Amino acid sequence: QEFRNSGACSNSTRGLFFGGGHPSYYNTIEYIEIGTLGNALDFGDQVTSAAVKSSFSSPTRGFSFGGFPAYSPAISVVTIAAKFGEMTSAGLSYGGCANSVRGMFAGGYTAGAQHMKSISYITMASEGNAIDFGNLTIGRNYPGGMATQTRAVFGGGIIDQPATYTNRIDYITIATTGDAIDFGDLIEETNRQRGTTDSHGGLGGF
């Protein structure tokens, strides 16, 4: 889109552009990576559609406010780029899921420790490193994860090389820490699957 009268701010790596336009007005936020050449990309949306935005930023957050024609008192805030913390291990192919409070990571693969058993968690409302939760019943990478507000469930995955798959399903109670418990079996041995429920991330459900 072609804008005018946009607001702008930046940290040391990204530049953000807020709203703008005439005679139509937009709530769009776009960004560029300052150290590279290329077109702007979509970052997200503001709470109002307006031009003549005022804005400023800290190293981690960008703020925009005011604007025409809304004359709104609303202040929009975005996180430009920030490090939350670190995992308990450096790896890949974890199973992940969350309720409205905790985010969970289980299993995975890292050099020298294939088919990990470890489960770790973060409290999403605060920054900080992941904390050890317990262990899966068997080590595996590429498990699928899903959660309700009370339980996290991890199923399937690779348990050996050359690739041997499992149908094992484990569960944990998110509000406590401790090792996973055998939940049951998938209908087939598999890996790289994904999971979903009607209860993830605080949207409702149980």
What pLDDT digit, counting tens, does each position of 73-106 carry?
Answer: 778 888 887 677 888 888 888 888 888 889 999 9
Mean pLDDT across the stretch 127-142?
92
Distance between CA 176 and CA 133 in Å, rounded?
A: 8
pTM over 0.85: no
Residue 202 predicted with pLDDT over 50: no
Q: Which amino acid is at 111?
A: A
Q: How many CB atoms lie within 10 A of CB 42?
A: 10
Given the structure tokens 């307006």, which residue do they identify? Answer: 50
Mean pLDDT of the chain, nearest integer? 84
Distance between CA 140 and CA 159 in Å, rounded?
A: 5
Distance between CA 85 and CA 11 in Å, rounded?
A: 19
Distance between CA 86 and CA 25 in Å, rounded?
A: 40
